[in-house]
Chains A and B, each alone.
Chain A
């Protein structure tokens, strides 16, 4: 039996992408609540999902204030230039889910900043990333057209884009499998000792090919986007 692989996945973005929502009583304080086992191409992978939900205000910049107490400002811009606290997570991550809510355009706009931070920290343009448009069950409230998301995907070197519904458990596993596949491929490339630039070029090509296929699939029907 092949040894189990264990990967750290970092979930980032505005929309909380809660795992295990289907269980009757979700307790996030236990260790296992952030672990997930999936099968990728016949291989068992353990994913440890790191999520900074709820700590967005830690180590994020804020407007000046001389009172010593934080003053809630209604006009406070939410865009994080970068959070040092989040970096702790990012450093651990091998793959990244960048989640926005299809009901909020600003949540999509925040992703670019996050990606920049990831690339800066990982010092890698081709870090495994999947873009996730969550809350696909709220189609009637959609604020982000798919074309917008695809455009973002293209500008990020064709990072795969999925629309999911965490609440309905739609497409969630697919997201993790895709990301996991990317990480595995990257691992293998790392082992092959190819030079950095070669690897990048080659990896990029392969990813492009795969993603072209994927995109075709996506466009064929709603099998991916639910």
Chain B
């Protein structure tokens, strides 16, 4: 993921001292940019808006900071954040789902992460061409496709910027120096001048660049010039923004006021008229994709904006126009949110869902926008009708999804019913507010108080719709996407109808006039409100279509006029009122809506949990935020292999479902849910998690438990198994159980997720008791678990409580796991991982002749002696392998935790230590068998035999025995036996050298690791490498990580360390599959006897061996070259490099090379 990301991100390379920008302050951190954004959760408007994701390569948008953002210290050491001042303009490269955006500050060229909730989208219409030009400019220069030096397009790029500036000046009526505005407003004149100066500077630089480009210039020079051009382009845009600010302040406001006074005369200012015509629709067409992306962002920040407006009103002198322009941009986004849907199969449920949701939100958005101000009754009728209509479209999809619900869990039904309720409230509110038209005039308005109720109702609708969407997607994720067949026409207008209308709003825009006087359909609109039928009962299925205005004959112009509320319509129809209201009504609006505005911020939704659950299965075109798809992908790949034993109950499944259903319906029935519904997901510890590249790196216990029992997605298998394996290293069993119960309890505050979460909590307990219970330490928590099972759990999920109590009972009686662990499955072949061997395939017959059998018999009776030479090397290798494999397969994962096997006393790692002992015994047996013989020739024969055995061990993939034998043959007491090695055949030496190369320690056992990587069991890996790895993971990683929080640093569990540990252990477990070999008890008995014999000499054995070695072949004079020892030490490599070149090429290729070059 790094490669394309880097290419894409490359920050400006600003040369120190050359420019007055302080970007170089941030430049040193550029390598951090590929890391994940800070984890401060983004305030979310409702619980699903931002979950739709469409991986997109490039996403451009401009944000403007309306709060200063100056993080005290970096949010995390691996993250570069971008400090913002109010009014700063940022070019956004991507927006992470958690609300942080990767952006470049135009002011300085610095790049980093910034919180989007501190910003508003900057999309002022007169600036649009200029912004677009800058985006293109950036794309070409930084887009990664290489920058063609002599590309004629370069000139066009600058032209784009020039045209953008020109457009801006034109729209602001400041094109020439002699314009009235320019001459009369000093501020405008100065800014205009500065803007043009910057532009000419860029043109000059570009010219120079093109000249240089045609000549020869170093890459460095070129890079520098490119950066310079980019910075100048940024500067131009910054100037442009500033210019527009001044214009708005000095000209726009006074015009607006003037227009207000002239009402109803319509004289839209230059901005409004611009919005009305060409550029918008043009942009809408050309940038449909991008716009669509942005639309969600805009929707999402809608509520924010109202707050922002309030703020702006407090200090109107700073940026008075921003309110108006914001409205423009929002509405515009909404209007163009439809088209992109066409790309995909529109009949897919997820597609329908998304488009219906988008349309509904668009309608609601304009509904809120419109009714914040006093409106005509007619409009109320139209917009309400539109809201109902689009809501029905959404509900139709939801209904269809409900029918596909495989488990009938009732989750979605609950959300849907809530949606109905909210919608009916909206309609009632509209009815209340409506004043029957006494006169044919449309001038009657309703009062702001009623407007508040309307807006409240609409806001609730937004939230309910979000919840619906989230549930529906979850459902689609579970049951798979499906195609909706022809939707019943009378039930709801297809969402595409809405979007189609949205696509073509221009005729109405241009024709409509303030006050709606000239609309031909007006008569029909003056009718009293139709009896909109909204289901009153939550259990009622969807009701028949509403008559009257909602029927399909309603002219499409109405829909677009009233519902779609494109910017043009807003602006052109009500230029005066709109402006007035936006400047005057804001305060009241924001005071009404502090509640819904604040909620999202309190929610502090975790970034990944939700998004990952929607990441797969649902092909979403909703595309709210672009996100780093590579990051996500890595996370998803983990998620996709979910469903572990622990989380997918095999036994309890059938009776859990009804109980879950019960709890859900119970909770939806409760009236006070309205209150808690608003606080969905409020209680979460997700901010206490540390992520990196989609992986949980650390977190507090409660946050990790929350992740373990996340309702949105089935937890990652590796995460779950790591938890079970290692939680005792960071929590006591009782703490773990307590945290789980706590999770079970606090999720009750959020009814719609309580069901699945509680089920997961139960599953975690179940998996723990069934397969991961450790009697040595977990029993302390048993009583607590029984209490929970019989108490809280029994009360909520009776059958689950019963089951858990039974399990606990069983655990208290049985020693050992109730359900045998999957991995250490001794005695049976796991066909899933091992080479497939048909169970009926006979085991290979032992290579044991009559002679050998007789010898063993005699030995058993105490007659005669046997040596290894009496047996076939293969058979000996097999019997060693059987012996060793048996111990290896018995190793329990907990033996490998926290260097348990290293404990000097009371170690639980009996099998690991038995492995070590067996290896040691084998090495000693090898040494002993060689050193007990007097004649060099006989010793050489034994050596030859051991080399053969070692080679057979390799054939059997028994690397552990191979290592032991090589260890011994390599040891100084054997290798120093010069006279012996003289009579060892070259063939044996070559084989030995080959084997030595396999177990070579160099490059961190690169050869051995490579061989094991793709090895299919049965295989006996060398346990030592795992032990070393585990030791270093344990010692090389801290137990805790620091998580920066608002109140300073917080030490959380370094879960990454445990993940690494679990990964190594699972690698080892992969090989815990027994061999299919025939055991020869007589031979085993003899081998065991031999091993015990060498062991019995105890600590002294090595000294004894060494002394024996010295006796057999006394030391020679030290100056004699030791070139007879093929394995002689590498320190003297320069002395006898040539002698050993062949051998060493196996073991030290790099060194051999350096010798060759040196010598």
| Minimum C-beta distance from A181 to chain B (A) | 15
Of all chain B residues, the one with the shortest Cβ separation from A77 is B1099
Are A55's CB and B1154's CB within 8 A? no
Contact A64 B1095 (CB under 8 A): yes
Q: What residue of chain B has the Cβ atom nearest to residue A51's Cβ? A: B1028
Q: A70 contacts B916, CB within 8 Å?
A: yes
CA distance A21 to B1054 in the complex (A): 14
Contact at A123–B1129, with CB atoms within 8 Å? yes
| B1102–A61 CB distance below 8 A | yes
- Which A residues between 131 and 188 are near B, CB-CB below 8 angstroms? 183, 186-187
List, in ascending order, chain B residues with CB within 8 A of A25's CB.
692, 697, 1037, 1056, 1060
A37-79 contacts to B (CB < 8 Å): 48, 50-66, 68-70, 72-74, 76-78
Q: Which residue of B lies closest to A55 (CB)?
A: B1024
| B1003 adjacent to chain A (CB < 8 Å) | yes
Residues of B within 8 A of A191 (CB): 1134
Q: When A33-B1004, A59-B967, A76-B904 are in contact, do A3 and B1158 touch as well, CB less than 8 Å?
A: yes
Q: Is the CB of B1033 closer than 8 A to any CB of chain A?
A: yes
Instruction: Contacts A21-B1036, A59-B967 given; indicate if A72 touches B1004 (C-beta within 8 A).
Output: no
Flag whether B901 is at the interface (Cβ < 8 A): yes
Q: Shortest CB–CB separation between residue B1088 and chain A, in angstroms?
A: 6
Q: Is the CB of B920 within 8 A of A52?
A: no
Whether A30 contacts B1004 in the complex (CB less than 8 A), given A53-B1031, A72-B905, comes out as: yes
Q: How far is the CA of A151 from the CA of B837 in the complex (A)?
A: 63
C-alpha gap A172/B329 in the complex (Å): 59
CB contacts (< 8 Å) of B1151 on chain A: these are 6
Q: Which residues of A contact B902 (CB under 8 A)?
A: 54, 56-57
User: With A and B bound together, what is the CA distance between A155 and B1027 in angstroms?
Assistant: 34
Assess the B1002–A8 pair: CB atoms within 8 A. yes
State whether A54 and B968 are in contact (beta carbons under 8 Å apart), knowing that A27-B1060, A70-B914 are contacts in the complex: no
Contact of A82 among B1033, B1102, B1129, B1150 (CB under 8 A): B1102
Q: Of the candidates A61, A78, A92, which one forms a contact with B1101 in the assembled complex, judged by CB atoms under 8 Å apart?
A: A61
Given contacts A61-B920, A70-B917, A82-B1102, contact A87 B910 (CB under 8 A): no
- Describe B's contact surface by its main secondary structure: helix
Q: CA–CA, A54 to B1026, complex, Å? A: 9
CA distance A93 to B948 in the complex (A): 28
Cβ–Cβ < 8 Å partners of B899 in chain A: 54
Given contacts A70-B914, A81-B1103, are A54 and B1030 in contact (CB under 8 A)?
yes
Q: Which residue of A lies closest to B1036 (CB)?
A: A26
A28 adjacent to B1032 (CB under 8 Å): yes
A101 at interface, CB cutoff 8 A: no
User: Scoring B residues 1077 to 1114 as 1 if CB is less than 8 Å from chain A, else 0, what string do you get?
Assistant: 00000000000100010011011111100100000000
Is B1118 close to A, CB under 8 A? yes
A196 within 8 A of B: yes
Contact at B1154–A3, with CB atoms within 8 Å?
Answer: yes
Rounded to whole angstroms, the CA-CA distance of A128 and B692 in the bound complex is: 42
The proximity string for B residues 998-1012 relative to A, scoring 1 for CB distances below 8 Å and 0 otherwise, is 010111101001000
B190 at the interface (CB under 8 A from A): no
- Closest residue on chain B to residue A66 by CB atoms: B1092
Distance of B84 from chain A, by nearest CB (Å): 27
- Residues in B neighbouring A16, C-beta threshold 8 A: 1031-1032, 1035
Question: In the assembled complex, which residues on chain A have CB atoms less than 8 Å from the CB atom of B914?
Answer: 69-70
In which size bucket is the chain B interface?
Answer: 35 or more
Q: Is A91 an interface residue (CB 8 A)?
A: yes
For the complex, give the distance between the alpha carbons of A121 and B976 in Å.
Answer: 9
A42 to B963 alpha-carbon distance, docked (Å): 39
The answer on a CB contact under 8 Å between A72 and B913 is: yes
| Cα of A77 to Cα of B1036 in the assembled complex, Å | 27
Chain A residues positioned under 8 Å from B1032 (CB to CB): 16, 18, 26, 28, 33, 51, 53-54
0/1 interface trace, chain B 1043-1079, chain A, CB 8 Å (1 if under)? 0000000000000100010001000000000000000
- Count, A-B residue pairs, CB within 8 A: 203
Say yes or no: B1158 contacts A59, CB within 8 Å.
no
Interface status of B750 (Cβ within 8 A of chain A): no
- How many Å lie between the Cα of A61 and that of B1002 in the bound state? 25
Q: Which residues from 985 to 1004 on chain B have a C-beta closer than 8 Å to any C-beta of chain A?
A: 999, 1001-1004
Which among B916, B970, B1037, B1095 is the interface contact of A65 at CB below 8 angstroms? B1095
Residues on A with C-beta less than 8 A from B1036 are: 18-21, 26, 28
Is there an interface contact between B1033 and A26, defined as CB atoms closer than 8 Å?
yes
A62 and B1098: CB pair below 8 A? yes
Do the beta carbons of B1134 and A190 come within 8 Å of each other? yes
In the complex, the answer to whether A186 meets B1131 with C-beta atoms within 8 Å is yes
Question: What residues of B have a CB within 8 angstroms of the CB of A87 in the complex?
Answer: 967, 970-972
Q: Which residue of B lies closest to A23 (CB)?
A: B1036
Q: Which of B905, B1056, B1099, B1150 contacts A63 (CB 8 A)?
A: B1099
**CB neighbours of B1103 from chain A (8 A):** 81-82
| C-alpha gap A27/B966 in the complex (Å) | 28
Q: Quick one: given A28-B1036, A59-B967, A60-B920, are A127 and B697 in contact (CB under 8 Å)?
A: no
Expressed in whole angstroms, the minimum distance between the Cβ of B462 and any Cβ of chain A is 41
Contacts of A122 in B (CB 8 A): 1129, 1131
Question: Could you tell me if B901 and A3 are in contact, using CB atoms closer than 8 angstroms?
Answer: no
Task: Tell me if A195 and B1004 are in contact (CB < 8 A).
Answer: no
- With beta carbons under 8 angstroms apart, the residue of A63, A73, A84 that contacts B967 is A84
For the complex, is B1119 an interface residue (Cβ under 8 Å from A)?
A: yes
Contact in complex: B1031, A81 (CB < 8 Å): no
User: Cβ of B905: which chain A residues have Cβ within 8 Å of it?
Assistant: 72-74, 76
Nearest CB of B to A152, in Å: 22
With A91-B1127, A123-B1129 given, is the CB distance from A64 to B1098 under 8 Å? yes
Which one of A35, A60, A91, A122 has the highest number of Cβ atoms from chain B below 10 Å of its Cβ?
A: A91
Residues of chain B with a CB closer than 8 A to A69's CB: 910, 914, 917
Cα–Cα distance between A45 and B669 once the two chains are bound (Å): 73
Partner of A28, one of B971, B1029, B1056, B1131: B1029
Task: Confirm or deny: A94 has a beta carbon within 8 angstroms of a beta carbon on chain B.
Answer: yes
Q: Is the CB of B576 closer than 8 A to any CB of chain A? A: no
Which residues of chain A have C-beta atoms less than 8 A from B970's C-beta? 84, 87-88, 91
Contact B919 A59 (CB under 8 A): yes
Contact of B825 with A by CB under 8 A: no
Chain B residue nearest to A73 (CB atoms) is: B905
| B742 close to chain A: CB less than 8 A | no
* Residue of A with least CB distance to B1091: A68
User: B906 an interface residue at 8 Å Cβ cutoff?
Assistant: yes
Q: Closest CB of chain B to A46's CB: distance in Å?
A: 9
Q: Which of A19, A78, A94 contacts B1131 (CB 8 A)?
A: A94
Let me know if A121 and B1003 touch, CB within 8 A: no
| Contact in complex: B1130, A94 (CB < 8 Å) | yes
Q: Nearest CB to that of B1037 among chain A residues? A: A26
Are A31 and B1004 also in contact (CB < 8 A) when A64-B1098, A70-B917 are? yes
Inter-chain contacts of A60 with B (CB < 8 A): 916, 920
List 5 A-B pairs, minimum CB-CB distance, nearest first: A54-B1031, A28-B1032, A26-B1036, A54-B1027, A57-B916
Interface pairs (30), CB distance under 8 Å: A25-B697, A30-B1004, A33-B1004, A53-B1028, A54-B901, A55-B1028, A59-B964, A59-B967, A60-B916, A61-B1100, A62-B1098, A62-B1099, A63-B1098, A64-B1092, A69-B917, A73-B905, A74-B905, A81-B1100, A81-B1103, A82-B1106, A85-B1024, A87-B972, A88-B999, A94-B1131, A121-B1129, A123-B1118, A186-B1131, A190-B1134, A191-B1134, A196-B1118
Residues of B within 8 A of A (CB): 77-78, 692, 697, 899, 901-902, 904-907, 910, 913-914, 916-917, 919-920, 923-924, 927, 963-964, 966-968, 970-972, 999, 1001-1004, 1006, 1009, 1024, 1027-1033, 1035-1037, 1056, 1060, 1064, 1088, 1092, 1095-1096, 1098-1103, 1106, 1118-1119, 1122, 1127, 1129-1132, 1134-1135, 1150-1151, 1154, 1157-1158
Give the B-binding residues of A (Cβ under 8 A).
3-6, 8, 16, 18-21, 24-31, 33-35, 48, 50-66, 68-70, 72-74, 76-78, 81-82, 84-85, 87-89, 91-94, 120-124, 127, 183, 186-187, 190-191, 195-196
